Chains A and B, each alone.
Chain A
Amino acid sequence: MDTTNSQGIVTVPPSLSYFCVYNPSFGDTDDSQSDQLLYYTSKKTVPMDVKIRQVGLAQGLYELFSISAPYCRVFSPSKPCENVHTQKNRLAFYEPEPDYWIHISIELGHVKKVIKDKEGKPKTTIDYLDSNLHDSGVKRMLKLGYEMYRIFNGPFEYTVRTDGIKALKNKLEEFFANWVFEWDFEKTELTKTVDGILYMPLSDSAESQITSFVNQIQSDYEFISDMFVIWQNKLVYRGNGAIPVNNVRGIWRHLVSYIAERDEHDREIENKRKNKEAEKVSTFMGFTRNISGSNLLSYFSTTPKVSPSTSPTNSTSHNPSTAPLETNGLLSPSTQVFIPGPSNFLLGPTNLHGPDGDIHPVKVYLSKNSNSSNIRTVDHQHDVDESDIEEYYLVAYKQNALTLVFFIPLNSLEGSAKVQEMVFYRSFHNYLTSQSEEIIKILNENHEKSKKLGRTDIDKEYRYLFFNKMTLAVKSSLYPFSSNGSLTSSSRGLTITSEMAHALCELHEDLEKYPQLTEIYTRSSTNFWIVGKRSEGRVLYIVVPKKEASLAEVEDDVRRITAIYFSGDNIY
């Protein structure tokens, strides 16, 4: 949103110009060039020949610098072109699968001023804020977009092989169309660039109880090959290692947005009940249950949003105590009546007494972890190979603060059958309701205990971010806001200013660029210190706003935090 201050200076934030997905091998003759374009969307309408020229530029850059191009081994750079900085724009390129490219152009944020020139005439000057858009943040967004697309739609090549190019184009459009323009490039939070998973630490006893809980369920239901356990929005149990850690992150992130929606929904119901409006039919705008990019809005944008989708919801709900239902067929797809029923399935039918036909199980495509006993780091550029894909049905169950996520492989005959049957969900629901009581108590105790630990004092006093590259675990006290936007009690300390946020991103990029550096201390022109420390796969970023402190004094502060997070018994 453009903002104008009292001196008439207009600040325009960065915004997307266009976004496209293309594959040069689909149209490498002069006539067929438009076949390369698999998906294109832009702020303004753009004629086809301009689109082709933009794709041509992207490819020209790639070929110019590529190692494989037979006629040009001029510079042999280690990687193909990643981004282009121009005076007014930023272009970024990402090749998630061989020959498939995602390319994006962002208009830089800028500041418009009217000044007087030498003759006293008014002149508009524009200052483009190139260094406020960090390449690492943009890259992370492209990767994240692809990761989420792939989890729910499978790799591009896979779709082309099984369903054809047209199917791929449709999937791309459906997934990216809505939320590409909701990407907020102004947000320079390090948490977004680092993009880690929030874990809740468990005591040893809690951990063993979770393990037996999970084992029990998986032995009672053998077709469930893997599970996650989430408490509030934190991951407690990340499966048995069959799922690679970036997929764990993707699924967790997706569930967290559902959990937030459901919590919001539950709060509204509570309020309505308190206002004695329980007798009215509670109707809400359709919570889309179809897996499209729309659910990621709350992750990306500044204000959480729910948007309509063109596909039917997973189910309608039936509350026996309310007025007659309106069924799917009578309503337009974008306004589904949703009556909260007794079911706790977050992914799964909410009306357990509806017909089997109402069930639309969610399918995900995950990579196989080649070494299931380890967690692998995720730096490979291309990790697709159809034999590498495992398809699962995803079912999620939420009771209070506990969410359970179940993975049922498609190639399990029994599993694939059960997920289509309402009967199964009914009995599973009852089973889980009773099984979960105990574990909810245990996790609640664990959560209360961990709040009391000294760690929270550190959280109050310091602003820091800890990240473990192996597990993708992140722990941050940078932005201590609760999910409904209000300040939590631990936020009494410093507020991270936009200058600090940018400085943190720059420090992060430095540590990434120079892997041999073990620590970096910087003092800004406004006298706050920012420190980055690295120890094996773990990184810590700390803001120390002590204007008079010397280098050695800042180190004392840093030591208090590294003592916790870099020690051997750090559970993250």
Chain B
Amino acid sequence: MKNIRDIVASMDMKVEDPQSVNWCRHRKHFFILSSAGKPIYTRYGDESRISGYTGVIQAIVSFFVDAEDSIRCINAGNHKFVFLLKGPLYLVAVSRTNESETQLRDQLNYLYNQILSVLTSTQLTRIFEQRINYDLRLLLGGTEPFLDNLATSMSDEPGFMLGSIQCVRMNKELRDKIGSILQIVKSKDLLYAMLIANNKLITLLRPKRHSLHSADLHLIFNMVNGSSTFRSAESWTPICLPKFNNKGFLHAYVCYITGNVCLLLISPDKDKFFELSDAKSIIVEELTSCNALQAIEEVSQSEGYSIADVGAAGLRHFIYKSRKHVQYTSPTFMAPYNDPHEKQKLFKLYRYTHDRMHSRIRPLKVHYYVSPTETILGWITSTFELYAAFGPLISKSALTNSSHTLLKWIKKEEENLFILNSQVF
């Protein structure tokens, strides 16, 4: 068994690559390698250049495996190296974003699920059983953009951390109307039907006994988002939804029906493209005839609702997750958070709050803290999770009042902010 030090000493890293200087500057890297040490994916740069590095990672992991242990995380100053070992695949996150080990591992799990959604777990295991040195990049060709997009989304959107998705805020009547139109096309060929706009859900039709896990929904959103080809024509693509069934493929009919609005029809049967294409035509016809299509188009053009709608004094921004409905809602970003840098800083604060409150052994009900630039409140009950940002000087009583105002507003707007009752068949 080779000494790690010797392996590192013999590592061949080409640092004269002009890309390398910038490469170091990225705040978060993701690597996926096979358990034999072969690079499969890197968020930045070229896989072929990091084989020295993945060799060392593999050696470090093996060191502990040999001792009947498994490595989870390395801390070096501001850097965290987080490991997720999934059979033939090793996933590693290297981050100086101050995200916690748990959060980074959750993100690695999403990346892993993205791979499963392209391959299924059966295929993945089989490949490496047959050939431990298999170069998975051959099969994953074309998947990189989806992995890249997922990596970006995980930094930009709170839904991954919250394990829930966001709905488009719209009039309940309109949403119900759309849902009933989707009901028209239900058949044994159809498993799920949904309308999506801007990474938010408009409505979802599902079998009574099969709810759609938010992790699967995230992968669906990622797929739609990750490729511009879906915009130009109807598409038919295999997809594995790991939470639904990680061993087999479903098939998704994807078509933009107007502007930013995308229709997805998911079938267990790979030969049903034409049937589903017909279904789409029916849907569009029905939506047009009752002017719903126009209304959806308008709603989808807007970025979302503004914090001013809430009327809570001192409240700058919030994220509210309904635990029962597994959905969250959040307004658009107003000053100062309309600046991308400030927005990232705010997310960092929300992530810190979320992490502390969701500690496995010592979860918290309330987490409140003050910095020179803001005051953040985290509040978790059995029905909701709230993350709210205020100015740095707000008093605790004013903050409490404001939070109550927000909760009242959400209660009042509930049926427009969330899908309270899915369309089922």
CB neighbours of A401 from chain B (8 A): none
CB neighbours of A523 from chain B (8 A): 364-367
Q: Is B400 an interface residue (CB 8 A)?
A: yes
Interchain CA distance A297-B370 in the complex, whole Å: 40
Q: Is B188 an interface residue (CB 8 A)?
A: no
Contact indicator A61/B74 (Cβ below 8 Å): yes
Where chain A touches its partner, the secondary structure class is mixed
- Specify the chain A residue showing the minimal Cβ separation from B360: A131
Contact indicator A81/B75 (Cβ below 8 Å): yes
Interchain CA distance A73-B25 in the complex, whole Å: 11
Q: Is A280 an interface residue (CB 8 A)?
A: no
Binary interface profile of B, 1-19, with partner A (CB < 8 Å = 1, else 0)? Answer: 1011111110111010000
Interchain CA distance A89-B77 in the complex, whole Å: 20
Contact indicator A56/B4 (Cβ below 8 Å): yes
Binary interface profile of A, 65-92, with partner B (CB < 8 Å = 1, else 0)? Answer: 1000001111111111111111111000
Q: Is A135 an interface residue (CB 8 A)?
A: yes
Contact indicator B365/A86 (Cβ below 8 Å): no
Contact indicator B78/A52 (Cβ below 8 Å): no
Contact indicator A551/B359 (Cβ below 8 Å): no
Binary interface profile of B, 40-79, with partner A (CB < 8 Å = 1, else 0)? Answer: 0000000000000100100110011000111111111111
Chain A residue total in the interface (Cβ 8 A): 59
Given A60-B56, A521-B368, the answer on whether A129 and B63 have CB atoms closer than 8 Å is no
Q: Is B96 an interface residue (CB 8 A)?
A: yes
Contact indicator B78/A78 (Cβ below 8 Å): yes
Interchain CA distance A104-B272 in the complex, whole Å: 61
Q: Is B356 an interface residue (CB 8 A)?
A: yes
Binary interface profile of B, 349-380, with partner A (CB < 8 Å = 1, else 0)? Answer: 00010001001111111111111100000000
Contact indicator A555/B63 (Cβ below 8 Å): no
Q: Is B396 an interface residue (CB 8 A)?
A: yes
Q: Is B399 an interface residue (CB 8 A)?
A: yes
Q: Is A238 an interface residue (CB 8 A)?
A: no
Contact indicator A86/B400 (Cβ below 8 Å): no
Contact indicator B73/A84 (Cβ below 8 Å): yes
What is the minimal beta-carbon distance from A203 to any residue of chain B, in angstroms? 36
Binary interface profile of A, 49-60, with partner B (CB < 8 Å = 1, else 0)? Answer: 000110111011
Contact indicator A86/B3 (Cβ below 8 Å): no
Contact indicator B15/A502 (Cβ below 8 Å): no
Given A57-B4, A552-B400, the answer on whether A74 and B53 have CB atoms closer than 8 Å is yes
Contact indicator A87/B70 (Cβ below 8 Å): yes
Contact indicator A551/B73 (Cβ below 8 Å): no
Q: Is B335 an interface residue (CB 8 A)?
A: no
* Contact among A61, A83, A131, A518 for B4, CB-based, below 8 A: A61
Q: Is B24 an interface residue (CB 8 A)?
A: yes
Contact indicator B75/A502 (Cβ below 8 Å): no
Contact indicator A520/B76 (Cβ below 8 Å): no
A-contacting residues, B315-365, CB 8 Å = 352, 356, 359-365
CB neighbours of A555 from chain B (8 A): 396
Q: Is A391 an interface residue (CB 8 A)?
A: no
CB neighbours of B94 from chain A (8 A): 75
A-contacting residues, B377-411, CB 8 Å = 395-397, 399-400
Contact indicator A63/B79 (Cβ below 8 Å): no
Contact indicator A60/B359 (Cβ below 8 Å): no
Interchain CA distance A130-B359 in the complex, whole Å: 12
In the assembled complex, 6 residue pairs joining A and B whose CB atoms fall closer than 8 Å, in A order, are A57-B63, A72-B8, A81-B75, A82-B76, A513-B98, A520-B370
Query: Which are the 9 A-B pairs with shortest beta-carbon distances?
Result: A79-B77, A60-B4, A78-B77, A523-B366, A56-B3, A56-B5, A77-B79, A520-B369, A521-B368
Using A84-B73, A521-B369 as known contacts, list a sample of 13 further A-B pairs with CB atoms less than 8 Å apart, ordered by residue number in A.
A30-B6, A60-B4, A65-B79, A74-B24, A79-B77, A81-B74, A84-B71, A86-B64, A88-B69, A502-B361, A517-B371, A551-B368, A551-B399
Chain A contact residues, CB within 8 Å of chain B: 30, 33, 52-53, 55-57, 59-61, 63-65, 71-89, 129-132, 135, 499, 502-503, 506, 510, 513-514, 516-525, 527, 550-552, 555
